[in-house]
Amino acid sequence: MRFVKVKKEQEREGEKVKKLGRFLKAFFGVVCVIYVAVFIWLAVDTHKAEMVLGAVLFAVPTYFLLRKKKVKPEPQSPTAGAVRREASQYTPDAPEETLRDMRMYYTKEQIENDVRILSESFKLAQQTANIDTFTSRLALAQRTALTLLQAEKAGCKGILPGTSKTCDQVLSSVKDLKIAFLENSYIKETTEAMLLKTPSGQRKRMEAYLAKLEAHKTDFLDVADTYDKVVRDTKVLMP
């Protein structure tokens, strides 16, 4: 009993340390964001290269302090088949007829291929800075995760243990990934724009960024607050 009590106390202390670490990380991240904003404002106002350099220097720690922790899908078995296809859109409340058809036609090779698609698409969505690649790959990862969850529900042969957990992790991290992408893209695009020598060049670069965001507005409806803030803040910085 004493051992159990000591273990629980150690766990509570460990949790306190983790909370303190998260607080300090968030605090210094906010401080860096303020410095980035100040340097960008000064760069726009004074057109001095030193201000742009200051914004870039603080943007780097800002990214590492405030970025979301990536959720890595658990490793699955390598692809055995050569079937290449895009996952169909399935719904978690599919009728029994659909589940029966899935048991008949959704093969082990397709399952293995979709596991690969899920892993590769999710990983690419985490790593890319290109908005077209991000939205398309994240959408594909979502569709594939739903497909595999339905396949498990249907009782398809070839579904490995842990597949549903991986799919749930992917689906639950979608909003966090979108928020992180918007925040990081804002820092990257506005900083690179401010490094341009002329106000007209800076403005064109930011206008191009806003056009990309507008083209993908529907992809960020579930994180509309962050999307709208990025658009507003970018417009404020435009010379």
What is the model's pLDDT at position 15?
A: 61
Q: What residue numbers bound the domain in which 57 lies?
A: 1-66
101 & 153 share domain: yes
Whether 110 and 152 share a structural domain: yes
Exposed e or buried b per residue across 185-204, where buried means at least 16 C-beta atoms within 10 angstroms of its C-beta: bbbebbbebbbbeeeeebee
102 and 167 inside one domain: yes
Position 27 scores a pLDDT of 64
108 with 167, same domain: the answer is: yes
List per-residue pLDDT tens for the chain, 239 residues long: 443 343 445 555 656 656 666 656 666 666 666 776 766 766 666 666 666 666 666 666 766 666 655 544 444 433 333 333 333 444 556 667 777 777 788 888 988 999 999 999 999 999 999 999 999 999 999 999 998 988 888 888 878 888 889 999 999 999 999 999 999 999 999 999 999 989 999 999 999 999 999 999 999 999 999 999 999 999 999 88
Last residue of a domain, one of 141, 156, 172: 172
Q: What is the dihedral of CA 74, 90, 139, 84, to 10 degrees?
A: 70
- 119 part of a folded domain: yes
Query: Is the domain of 20 the same as that of 58?
Result: yes
For residue 226, is it within any domain?
Answer: no
Number of folded domains that form the chain = 2
Q: Does any domain span residue 137?
A: yes
Query: Would 85 be classed as within a structural domain?
Result: no
Residue type, 186: Y
Residue 221 lies in a domain: no
